[in-house]
Structure formats: C-alpha cells, structure tokens
Amino acid sequence: MLKKLPRVLIVGDGLSAHVLAHRMVVAGIPFLLQGMDTIGAASPAAWGLLNPVHFRSFGLSYGASWYAESLAFYRGLEKKLHRSFVYEAPLEHLDARPEALAHWSMAWESELHSIIERPTKDSLGNVRIVLPQVAMVSVPTLLKESRSYLKEMGLYHQAWFEWPYSGYGHRDPIEHAGGQFDVVVWAQGVKSLDSGPFKALPIKPSKGEGLQLSTQGIAGQKFIKHKGMFAFQESPGAWRVGSTYSWSDLRPEPSAEALAELKAGFIELTGIKDFKLVNHWAGFRPASPDRKAMVGQHPLFDQHFVLNGMGSKGLLMAPFLAKALQEEMQGASDKIPMLCRLDRFTKRLINFRE
C-alpha cells in the first residue's frame, strides 16, 4: 500500500483510462496518461447507453446502484470540458419471449417499479417495458474533449507504451517519458492480451458492431427503441443503431453479416425500409468469463494495477471502479467490490510465463 501520493502512469486511451484520469485530477494525484487508440478498441464503438436494467435477465444489472453516481460523473465532466455529450430519453424495450410477461411483472412488483412503468403488451403480442428516462453518452465526443483537456494540462501523451518485462524492479521508480512514476495503471481493454504484466488475465473479446443511418426526418420518435438491438433518432433523420455480439468473429473490421443483421433489426424496430448507410463501425468489448470487471494490484509486481474487464457496461461501471481503485492506491481498503477484485486470478498471474 502506498503511503504518500503516488506518481501514476496510466496506460490506455479508452473510457477506463480517461475516467480514471479525471478521478485522479479531482483527488490531486499527479499522473500522465499515455495511450494510443487502435483498431478494435471498444470505446470508439460504444453505442453509449447508460442504464441500470439488464433486459435479458429481467432485472437490475450488476452495478445498478452506481447509476446515479455514474450519471453525475458524466454530467460533471461535461461542465469541466465545456461540451455536451450526455443525452436523456425514454427507452422502450419489446420482449417476445413467452415467459416475458410473468417475469417482467414480477420484477416490476419487486425491485423495478421505481425504474420501469408497469409492463403492457403491444398489438403484436410483445411485452412492452418503458423506462421513462435513461442516459446516452457519446463516448467518442467525451474522449476527444478529454484528450484535448489533458493535453493542454501536460497530462496526456499520445503514444504506444511498451513494457520491457525484465526492466522493472518491484519498488524502483519507473523512468518514462522524461519523468519518474511510482505505479502504472493498465487500462488496455482487449490489448492486455498482447502485452503488459496483466497478459494472463482471461479477457474475452466480444465483438460488437453499430451503424449510423440516415432517413427522412421522422416526427414523434422520442424513444430509444430496443428489441435485441437499439435504435435512436439522434436528430431528425440521423439514426444510431447497435449493437451486435459475437464471441467467434475476431476480425477487427466491420463485417457484412453484422451489417445485414443491423439493417434487419432497424427495419423490425422502426418499420422504416428507406434509409442510407452513413457509417459502420466495430470494436471488441473487454469481457471476462464471469462478466465482472478486473480491478486491483498485481500479486507479484506491486507497482502495477489494472482497470479492465468492463465488458458491455463500461459506462455504468468505470466511474465507480476507477474511484475505488484510486482510493485503494492511496491506502484505503475494501473499496473495490469483492466480485471485481483480482484475487480470483492470483494463481494465473503468479504462474504466468511468457
């Protein structure tokens, strides 16, 4: 545990690294964020939903209780960066599963009545769930503004960070980019599988793709629509559609299969067949086998910490977990939730050989 304020090098250039950087600014911890965006990174591909409900399991997501804190964090960041990137809108979820009405009704009665309206059925027999308000965050805009802000303060260095494995003793300050650092926090997303001291962590890349489409402006489409995928008219005639899931497709580029799936999903959700493709993107969610994040200190190299495994819920989890990590690095204990701690991978990390 570190007794004085550590000088921290953050490695990464996605949501996790930038959220942590802003937590560090507030805590007054000196740091440098070194990162470089690469093809396949999750954050530029994120659809952007910040939402406490897990539709597949008819209940709350892991970390749902952090929703208000996460939203307040992004709202605060908007003010600091002088740019809007958070939007709030109602969400309509349609569920065709035979068991949906019973499960959603039970969930509404027990824990969801303050979050969703009472479940109903639409004319096609789908169970219809409405969340009167959820948030969407434009992650690319957040990252663009955060990079310029940190750069201006001399806290951002856009470059790849190589880790010379044998070069680092356990307690010596780390010399890098003309500075000395006491610790490194690795927020690499799926790239941690390629390099760094957390290579042994079982990050599972989950490919996701999304589209931007243009149509004639459609009046009265205020809902974020969801049935398997999301569609939202961000401004008249400009739609954001996403996302697909694949555990088997490891090609970094957008695929024809996902394009067909997204177009079909959009037609089913909106009934609109006349549209133009404006953009198509892909990225890999850094998921974990138990769908929980991976946060904490390396069991062998105590100068090295990790913030990773955000999976498909980075927006909900990153603000809480980054703060918990920052507090533990300053000496607090039990801030990182049990289920996200690195203890569950100790053996793997200790036994790992290049």
Q: Which residues make up the interface to ligand FAD (CB under 6 A)?
A: 11-17, 35-38, 41-43, 45-49, 160-161, 187-191, 195, 208-210, 242-243, 283, 285-286, 308, 310-316
**In the complex, what is the shortest distance from the CB of residue 192 to ligand FAD, in angstroms, rounded to a whole number?**
7
- Nearer Cβ to ligand FAD, position 9 or 108? 9
- 8 A C-beta contact, residue 224 and residue 91: yes
- Nearer Cβ to ligand FAD, position 94 or 322? 322
CB crowding 225-254: b at 16 or more within 10 Å, else e: bbbebbbbbeeeeebbbbbbbbeebeeeeb
**In the complex, what is the shortest distance from the CB of residue 282 to ligand FAD, in angstroms, rounded to a whole number?**
7
**In the complex, what is the shortest distance from the CB of residue 283 to ligand FAD, in angstroms, rounded to a whole number?**
3
345/285 Cα distance (integer angstroms):
19
**In the complex, what is the shortest distance from the CB of residue 139 to ligand FAD, in angstroms, rounded to a whole number?**
6
- 8 A C-beta contact, residue 117 and residue 129: yes
29/33 Cα distance (integer angstroms):
12
- 8 A C-beta contact, residue 71 and residue 50: yes
Which backbone phi and psi does 227 adopt, to 5 degrees?
-155, 95
- 8 A C-beta contact, residue 66 and residue 183: no
- Nearer Cβ to ligand FAD, position 108 or 287? 287
- Nearer Cβ to ligand FAD, position 119 or 314? 314
- Nearer Cβ to ligand FAD, position 32 or 94? 32
- 8 A C-beta contact, residue 141 and residue 108: no
- Nearer Cβ to ligand FAD, position 38 or 105? 38
How, if at all, do strands 53-54 and 59-60 pair? antiparallel
122/128 Cα distance (integer angstroms):
6
Number of residues that this document lists for the chain:
354
Instruction: Enter the tokens of residue 14.
Output: 């996605």
- Nearer Cβ to ligand FAD, position 219 or 256? 256
Q: Which of 19, 41, 21 is nearest to 30 (CA)?
A: 21
**In the complex, what is the shortest distance from the CB of residue 160 to ligand FAD, in angstroms, rounded to a whole number?**
4
- Nearer Cβ to ligand FAD, position 37 or 117? 37
**In the complex, what is the shortest distance from the CB of residue 75 to ligand FAD, in angstroms, rounded to a whole number?**
16
**In the complex, what is the shortest distance from the CB of residue 287 to ligand FAD, in angstroms, rounded to a whole number?**
8
Radius of gyration of the chain (CA): 21
* Bridge partner residues of 131 (DSSP): 91
**In the complex, what is the shortest distance from the CB of residue 124 to ligand FAD, in angstroms, rounded to a whole number?**
25
